[in-house]
Amino acid sequence: MTREMEPPPKPTTSLFDVYLRLRPTFSPGAERFLDVEDGGRSAPTHITIRPPTNDHRKRAIERFAFTQVFEEEAAQLDLFKGTGLPGIIEGVLGQPGREGRDGLLATLGVTGSGKSHTILGSKAQRGLTQLSLDTLYQSIGQRITSLAENDSTFPSLCQADVSEAQLFPASAFLESLYGDGALPDRAASRAATPMMDVSFMSASANPKRYIPRLSNLPQYPAIEDITASADQSAEYAVVISMYEVYNDRIFDLLTASATKGAAAKRRTLLFKSTEQSPDKKVVAGLKKVVCSSLDEALLVLETGLTERRVAGTGSNAVSSRSHGFICVEVKKRHRGAVLGPWTSSSLTIVDLAGSERARTAKTAGATLAEAGKINESLMYLGQCMQMQSDNAENLSKPQNVVPFRQCKLTELLFSNSFPSAHHNHHNRKPPQKAIMIVTADPLGDYNATSQILRYSALAREVTVPRVPSVTQTILSATAASKGLASGRTTPSATQEELERALAELARLREQMEVMQLQLSDEISRRRQAEASWKAAEDRMEEAEAEIRDEVWEEMERRLAEEQRRWRAARDEEAERNEVHMDAKLEILTRGIGAGEVEVYEDPAQTGEEMIAELEGENERLRLRLEEVERERGLRSPSKKMRVLKTRKWEGIEMDE
Ligand SMILES: Nc1ncnc2c1ncn2[C@@H]1O[C@H](COP(=O)(O)OP(=O)(O)OP(=O)(O)O)[C@@H](O)[C@H]1O
C-alpha cells in the first residue's frame, strides 16, 4: 500500500469535487478492467482497476477515490442532481443583496469516453449545459430584464462589462446570422430591440449554413421539479459567450469565421487584465450575447458548437480537438426606484479535449503536434489536480502552491479559484465552486484511462497484484510434495524452517514489488516535472524574446516620437525667428521712412515763394556787382566802359 486512503472524500478547500462517470459500453467481448466498490447505503465512491490479463508488466491493482462514482445506468438527470449543479446555479444567482459565486463544471476523459455526451447531450437527450440553462431561466423567471422595456438597459449592460467585449441582444445576433428562419417567436421584443450595427456577421443568412431549429433540439429530460432560489429583490440578465482553447490559443466561437470559409484567419484573444479589470484577468474582446430566454440561449449555444465543429481541424467529426468553454454570465442589479449597479457571476462549462496516446492516435504532422499540445495542457491540469490531492492529504503541512499559470487551460480553469491578492478584503468574492466529471469506459483503453484516473482521483491506493507469484508457486509445490511423499517425510523442523524462509522471501518480494511501483511512480512524476520545467524554460525564452521585441518597438516608437517632437519644435522656433526678423525689418523700414522726411526732404515750396527767393538773390547779386564795379572804376581807366556795358545789359533785361 503506498498511500493511506482517506474516508469518502468531501474536500472543502480543494479546487474541484471530482466525480467519475462510467459510460455504457458497446464493445462486446472486451475485457472489463474497472470495478466499482459497493458503497453500502450511500453512493459508491471507490473503484479498482486491474491491468489486463495479458499485461506483461506485472502492474499493480489500483484503487481510486472520488467524490462520487456514477455507474453506467446513471441518467443525465442523476448526474445533474448528484453533482450538486442546482446548488452551484443558486450560488451564481447570489443570495439576496449579495454578489453571486462563480461556478465551474468541466469534463475530463479519454477520447470517446462520454465527455461531450455528459456535458452537451445527444440528439435524444439534453446534456448538463442545457439542463443548467433551463434551471437558470426557470429560477430567474419574471425577474429577467427586458431589453425592450427600457432603452437604457442594454447600454448599461455594455458599460458594466469589463472585458472589452462587444455585446449584442440575441435577437439582433441570431437574425443577422440566420434571418428569421430559426428564431423563436419574439415579435414583441424584436420590435423594440435596440438598433445596432450587426456588421460582425455580414456574411449573414448564408443559405448553405446549418440553421439550428428549436424543434430539432432534445426536450428530454425535463427539469420542472428543479429550481434554484433567486434574489427576489433583483433583476437579472444572462449574457452568453463561447470560446475554445486550441494549441494554447483562445478563439471566439461566436465570431462567424465558419461562414467565411475554412481558410478564414481567426483572431486570437488574450487572457489579460483590462483597464476596467486591473486585478482580475479576463478573456478580452469576446462577442457576448444577451439572451432573454432559454430558447435564445439554446440557439446561441448551437451556433457556437457549430462554429467549434466547422472551424476546427476538420478531422474532429468524432473527437473534439480543442477545449471548449461556454461562459454563462449572470448579471444582477437591485430593482427599485433607484436601480443598483450590475454585478456579475458566471457559470463556466468546459468540454476538455480528449487525451490521446500519440502512439495509438494514427496522426501525423500538425495533428500530432496538436495532440501533443492537448496532452501537454492536460498534463499541466494533472499536475494541478495532483497538487490538490497532495494538499488534501497533508492538511497539517504547509500547502503547495498549485502551478496553474503554466498554460492557458489551467489559467482559465483556476484563476478564479485563487482570487487576486490585490483585491481588498471587502470586495473579495468567494472562490469559485468547481466540479470535474471524469468519464471512463470500463472496457476501453486501460493505459489511457488509468493515466487520467491517476491524476484526477482525490486519493489513490496501490496493491500488489494477487496473481500467483513465484513464491506462491514454490509454496504450493512444497505443500504438494509434502502430501505426495508418503513414507519419506522430511523432518518437521526443517520443513517449518523452509516454510518460514519461503514466507520471508514472499514478504520481501512483495515489498520489493511495492517499492518498484513507487519507483516507477516517482520516475514518471520526475519526467513530468522535467517536461514542465523544459516547457517553462521555453515559455520563458519566448516571453523574453517577446518582451525584447516589445521593448525595442517601444524604444523605436518613442525615438520616432521624440524626433517628431524635436523637429516640430525646431520648425516652430525657425518660424518664430522668421516672424521676429520680419517684425524687426518692418520696424526698421518704418524707422528709416520717418528719418527721410525729417532729414533729407525740403519742405515743399510754392511757385511765388521760389520767384521771390530768386528775385531776392538776383537783387543781392546785382548789388554786389555794382559794388564791385564801383570799386574797380575808382582804380582803372576802363571803368566807364564797363559801367556802359552794365547799363546796356540792364536795358536789354528791362526790355525783355
Ligand atoms: N452515458 C452514455 N450513455 C449513452 N451513450 C453514451 C454515453 N456516454 C457516451 N456515449 C456515446 O459514446 C460516444 C462517444 O461519446 P462522446 O462523443 O461524448 O465522447 P467524448 O469523450 O466527448 O469524445 P471526444 O473527446 O472525442 O470528443 C457517443 O456516440 C455518445 O453518444
Residue nearest to atom 26 of ligand 1 (CA): 319
Angle at 191 between CA 189 and CA 196, to 5 degrees: 95
Look up the CATH number of the domain holding residue 423.
Answer: 3.40.850.10
- Confirm if 347 and 103 have CB atoms less than 8 A apart: yes
Ligand 1 centroid vs 120 CA: distance in angstroms? Answer: 10
The answer on 557 and 628 residing in a single domain is: no
> Greatest CA span in the chain, whole angstroms?
211
Asked whether residue 478 is domain-assigned, the answer is no
User: What distance, in Å, lies between the first and last C-alpha atoms of the chain?
Assistant: 159
Task: Tell me which residue of 46, 21, 161, 139 sits closest to 88, measured CA to CA.
Answer: 139
The answer on 419 and 302 residing in a single domain is: yes
Asked whether residue 516 is domain-assigned, the answer is no
The answer on 163 and 117 residing in a single domain is: yes
Q: How many CB atoms lie within 10 A of CB 37?
A: 13
Asked whether residue 230 is domain-assigned, the answer is yes
Give the whole-angstrom CA distance, residue 370 versus residue 356: 11
Task: Report pLDDT for 395.
Answer: 66
The answer on 421 and 552 residing in a single domain is: no
The answer on 564 and 624 residing in a single domain is: no
Best of 78, 117, 308, 441 for a ligand 1 pocket test (most atoms within 8 Å of beta carbon): 117
Task: Report pLDDT for 207.
Answer: 44
Domain that includes residue 637, residue range: 610-655
Ligand 1 centroid vs 309 CA: distance in angstroms? Answer: 15
Distances (CA, A) of 335 to 100, 154, 159, 233, 434: 16, 15, 18, 6, 30
Phi (first) and psi of residue 141, to 5 degrees: 55, -125
Task: Tell me which residue of 129, 87, 92, 88 sits closest to 107, measured CA to CA.
Answer: 129
User: For the residues of 105-138, what is the DSSP string, one character each?
Assistant: EEEEEBTTSSHHHHHHB-SSSB-HHHHHHHHHHH
Q: Kindly give the number of the ligand 1 atom that is closest to the alpha carbon of 76.
A: 1
How do the residues of the chain divide into helix, strand and coil, expressed in percent and rounded to 5? 45, 15, 40
Ligand 1 centroid vs 454 CA: distance in angstroms? Answer: 21
Ligand 1 centroid vs 109 CA: distance in angstroms? Answer: 10
User: Look-up: residue for cell 476538420?
Assistant: 314
Task: Report pLDDT for 265.
Answer: 67
* Backbone region of residue 365 per phi and psi (left: phi > 0; alpha: psi in -120 to 50; beta: other values): left
The answer on 635 and 550 residing in a single domain is: no
Ligand 1 centroid vs 82 CA: distance in angstroms? Answer: 20
The answer on 410 and 305 residing in a single domain is: yes
Task: Report pLDDT for 598.
Answer: 52
In the chain (656 residues long), the average pLDDT of successive 10-residue segments reads 42 71 83 88 91 72 92 94 94 88 91 90 93 94 80 87 90 82 46 35 46 80 83 92 88 73 69 83 92 94 85 48 91 84 92 62 49 69 75 69 79 75 56 90 88 82 59 54 49 81 82 77 80 83 88 91 92 92 88 59 74 90 89 62 53 47
Asked whether residue 481 is domain-assigned, the answer is no
The answer on 645 and 547 residing in a single domain is: no
The answer on 357 and 307 residing in a single domain is: yes
The answer on 454 and 391 residing in a single domain is: yes
Task: Report pLDDT for 419.
Answer: 58
Q: Which three cell numbers stand for residue 314?
A: 476538420
Task: Report pLDDT for 353.
Answer: 81
Task: Report pLDDT for 61.
Answer: 83
Task: Report pLDDT for 320.
Answer: 63
Give the whole-angstrom CA distance, residue 333 versus residue 145: 10
Best of 25, 79, 116 for a ligand 1 pocket test (most atoms within 8 Å of beta carbon): 116
Asked whether residue 82 is domain-assigned, the answer is yes
Ligand 1 site residues, Cβ closer than 6 angstroms = 23-24, 109, 111-117, 122, 318-320, 354, 439
CB neighbour class for 99 (10 Å; exposed up to 12, middle 13-18, buried from 19): middle
Best of 19, 21, 23, 441 for a ligand 1 pocket test (most atoms within 8 Å of beta carbon): 23
Task: Tell me which residue of 331, 322, 315 sits closest to 143, measured CA to CA.
Answer: 331
Residue nearest to atom 12 of ligand 1 (CA): 114
Residue nearest to atom 9 of ligand 1 (CA): 114
The answer on 627 and 570 residing in a single domain is: no
Give the whole-angstrom CA distance, residue 296 versus residue 240: 10
Of 463, 480, 497, the position where a domain reaches its end is 463
Q: Kindly give the number of the ligand 1 atom that is closest to the alpha carbon of 319.
A: 26
Q: What's the DSSP call for residue 529? A: H
Tally the domains of the chain.
Answer: 3
Give the whole-angstrom CA distance, residue 627 versus residue 136: 139
Asked whether residue 381 is domain-assigned, the answer is yes
The answer on 630 and 569 residing in a single domain is: no
Ligand 1 centroid vs 405 CA: distance in angstroms? Answer: 30
Strand partners, 246: 249
Of 414, 438, 463, the position where a domain reaches its end is 463
Ligand 1 centroid vs 117 CA: distance in angstroms? Answer: 5
Q: Kindly give the number of the ligand 1 atom that is closest to the alpha carbon of 318.
A: 26
Q: What is the ipTM of this complex?
A: 0.97
User: Look-up: residue for cell 510754392?
Assistant: 606
Ligand 1 centroid vs 81 CA: distance in angstroms? Answer: 20
Distances (CA, A) of 247 to 88, 270, 326, 407: 30, 14, 18, 10
Q: Kindly give the number of the ligand 1 atom that is closest to the alpha carbon of 21.
A: 1
Phi (first) and psi of residue 108, to 5 degrees: -135, 140
Residue nearest to atom 10 of ligand 1 (CA): 114
Ligand 1 centroid vs 27 CA: distance in angstroms? Answer: 13
Q: What's the DSSP call for residue 23? A: P
Q: Report cis status (omega within 30 of 0) of the bond before 221.
A: yes
Ligand 1 centroid vs 122 CA: distance in angstroms? Answer: 9
User: For the residues of 272-332, what is the DSSP string, one character each?
Assistant: E--SS-SSS-EEET-EEEEE-SHHHHHHHHHHHHHHHHHHS-S--SSS--SEEEEEEEEEE
